[in-house]
Every structure is written in C-alpha cells, then in structure tokens.
C-alpha cells in the first residue's frame, strides 16, 4: 500500500489516443476544451459484465481497494477507450464519478475527465451509460424556487437554469456562448454558488444583493479576468443572513441533484422532463438542449467547444 499512486496530473495514455485532463473533486469543470488533442480513439466497445460483483471486489486493483477503504463504493467496472478500464465510483449519495485503471498497473488510479481526439467528454458519456441516473423531476419545485438572476428574454420560450460560481471561468465561457441565444429568445436563470475561491461566497452574495442583479451580472462577466479567473465584482465583506441562507439553499440543491462542478445546467426537454448538462458542453450539445438552431459564435475562446 505504501507504493500506491493516485494520478492527479495531466497524462497521455500509452497509445497516444486520448488526453486525460485532471480536475479536483470540487471543480470549475469543462466538459470539453483541452487544446492539441490527439487522433480519435478506436470505437468504444460495448459494455460487458467483466465478472460478478464479488469477483470484481476481490480482484480490484490495489488503488481501487484503497478507494473503497476510504468510503467510496465501486458500482460498475467496464472497458473504456484507449486501453483503460473504467470504474463508476460513488463518493456520496447521488454523486458519481468515473476513474480509470490500466491493466497491469494496480498501483495507479487515474482521476479526471477523459477526452477523445475530437474533444468528446468520454467520462460524461460513461456516467450517462453506467451510473445510476437522477430523476431531476423530483427537484422541479426546488429548481423553480431557487434564488437566481434572470437574463435574456422575458417571454415564455426556451428556459434554462445554470448553477454557477462567479469565479468559474467555464461559467464565464457558457455566459458568452449563451448570449446569441438570449437574443434569440432564451431565458437564463443564473443560480449563484460560492465555493470555488475564498472570495466566491462574497461575490455571489454581492450579485444577489445588487439593486439590479441582471445588470451587475452582465458587468461582472464582461469584465471577467480570464487570466486570473476572477469575476469583476467586489465581494461583500459581511454577508446578510438571508443572502447566506439563499446561497446555502442553492448549494444544497446543487449537491442533492448530484452535481460536483460548475457550470451545471438544468432544463426541460420536449416532453417536459428535467434534464441536465454538466460542465461546459460542446456548442452543438448546447443548441440541442435549448431546442434552438445552432447559432454562430465569434469569440475565439469558444472555438475549442465546437
């Protein structure tokens, strides 16, 4: 056990087909966007049950055995792209992540987002395929009751809710990506959280307490410092109890729905059921979720999400 290694750095698999982008457990998370990706991986294998649950448990690599001893639960093991073996890890109720091992390297546990050469988020794909799915309809009343800031169209058209942290650069990029859709009739409800940086709670509170939150949101994002990943808004030094309670309520809903990173998007599909997109999605996936035509984007920072 002393030789156990948990990889939390950028790594390229031995076949040079995939890029692993490492993210912390609570993170400002892109779904896509790593630059200089390598050629496309081979087609994914269909899921097969590798062994019974008991057999899997006794034959788990040492790194995964250590993860289980830390209180995590391995729900499923499956063949992943690029020669990796994927594992669905439950870290808390409704909280699931995909971790990877390499055959023959029991001492390594790869933790992060697996991207294909085209920028497809394979980890998100595996979560959808193999992890228990959350019924977001159970949270409908709580979603609608969140303390949020509305931007975009006020008419009853396409509507989404976005959990965001003021200092989240991928929330900022999502804000950029949504601007043309807001002009086309989209209504966005921004649900502030404050966990990413030390001043995030104060900035989230300042946003909620502003006399004109929508205007302040626009100013905050327009002046966002992408180099330091900092929102252009002064943090409140003393947060009123009501605002603190509202931020806490937003975070509790975020956690209850199983989200671990921002941005997290929830929306109603064509049949009226709540669905989600986690992380900064590809622009085509965003358009499909909005049920709106794919609109032109001119910001160079969004090129990596095409």
* 194-172-204 Cα angle (round to 5): 25
Burial class (CB in 10 A: 0-12, 13-18, 19+), 61: buried
Residue 106 banded pLDDT, cuts 50, 70, 90: confident
Query: What average pLDDT score do residues 202-218 get?
Result: 98
| For residue 33, pLDDT beyond 60 | no
Please measure the distance between the N-terminal and C-terminal CA atoms of the chain and give it in whole angstroms: 43
With tokens 């990029």, the residue in question is 173
Average pLDDT, the chain: 83
List, for residues 57-98, the tens digit of each pLDDT value. Answer: 556 788 888 888 888 999 999 999 999 999 999 988 888 889
Q: In degrees rounded to 5, what are phi and psi of residue 175?
A: -55, -45
Give the residues across from 150 on adjacent strands.
189
List, for residues 150-202, the tens digit of each pLDDT value. Answer: 999 887 689 999 999 999 999 999 999 999 999 999 999 999 999 999 999 99
For every residue of 86-153, DSSP letters joined together read EEEEEEETTEEEEEEEETTEEEEEEESEEE-TT--BHHHHHHHHHSPPP-GGGGHHHHHTS--EEEE-
Residue 273 banded pLDDT, cuts 50, 70, 90: very high
| For residue 293, pLDDT beyond 90 | yes
The answer to whether 102 and 83 have CB atoms below 8 angstroms apart is: yes
Torsion sign over Cα 283, 287, 293, 299 = negative
Ordered structural domains, the chain, with CATH: 5-130 (3.10.450.70), 136-305 (3.40.30.10)
Higher pLDDT, 53 or 188: 188
Q: What is the pLDDT of residue 66?
A: 86
**Six-digit token pair at 40?**
């496309």
Which candidate, 93, 3, 83, places its Cα nearest to that of 44? 83
Higher pLDDT, 114 or 217: 217
Which candidate, 121, 71, 69, places its Cα nearest to that of 98? 121
Higher pLDDT, 10 or 154: 154
Question: Whole-angstrom Cα distance, residue 266 to residue 136?
Answer: 8
**Six-digit token pair at 249?**
């309520």
Angle between helices 169-183 and 213-222 (to 10 degrees): 120
| Pairing status of strand 105-111 against strand 95-102 | antiparallel
Which candidate, 66, 43, 63, 68, places its Cα nearest to that of 104? 63
Prediction pTM value: 0.71
Burial class (CB in 10 A: 0-12, 13-18, 19+), 188: buried
Least reliable range by pLDDT among 48-57, 76-85, 143-152: 48-57
């Amino acid at each position: 056990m002393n030789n156990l290694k948990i990889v939390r750095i950028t790594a390229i698999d031995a076949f040079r087909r995939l890029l692993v982008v490492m993210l912390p457990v609570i993170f400002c998370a892109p779904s896509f966007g790593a630059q200089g990706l390598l050629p496309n991986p081979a087609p994914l294998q269909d899921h097969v049950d590798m062994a019974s649950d008991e057999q899997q448990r006794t034959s788990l690599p040492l790194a995964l055995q250590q993860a289980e001893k830390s209180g995590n639960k391995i729900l499923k093991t499956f063949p992943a792209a690029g020669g990796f073996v994927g594992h669905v890890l439950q870290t808390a109720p409704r909280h699931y992540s995909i971790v990877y091992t390499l055959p023959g390297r029991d001492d390594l546990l790869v933790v992060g987002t697996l991207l294909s050469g085209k920028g497809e988020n394979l980890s998100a794909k595996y979560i959808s395929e193999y992890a228990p799915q959350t019924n977001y309809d159970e949270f409908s009343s709580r979603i609608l009751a969140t303390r949020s800031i509305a931007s975009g169209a006020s008419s009853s058209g396409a509507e989404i809710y976005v959990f965001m942290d003021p200092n989240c650069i991928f929330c900022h990029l999502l804000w950029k990506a949504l601007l043309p859709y807001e002009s086309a009739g989209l209504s966005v409800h921004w649900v502030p959280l404050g966990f990413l940086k030390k001043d995030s709670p104060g900035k989230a509170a300042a946003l909620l307490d502003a006399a004109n939150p929508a205007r302040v949101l626009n100013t905050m994002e327009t002046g966002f410092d992408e180099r330091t990943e900092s929102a252009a808004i002064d943090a409140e030094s003393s947060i009123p109890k009501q605002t603190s309670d509202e931020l806490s309520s937003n975070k509790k809903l975020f956690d209850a729905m199983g989200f671990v990173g921002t941005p997290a998007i929830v929306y109603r599909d064509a049949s009226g059921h709540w669905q989600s997109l986690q992380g900064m999605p590809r622009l085509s996936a965003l358009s499909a979720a909005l049920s709106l035509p794919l609109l032109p984007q001119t910001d160079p920072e969004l090129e990596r999400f095409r």
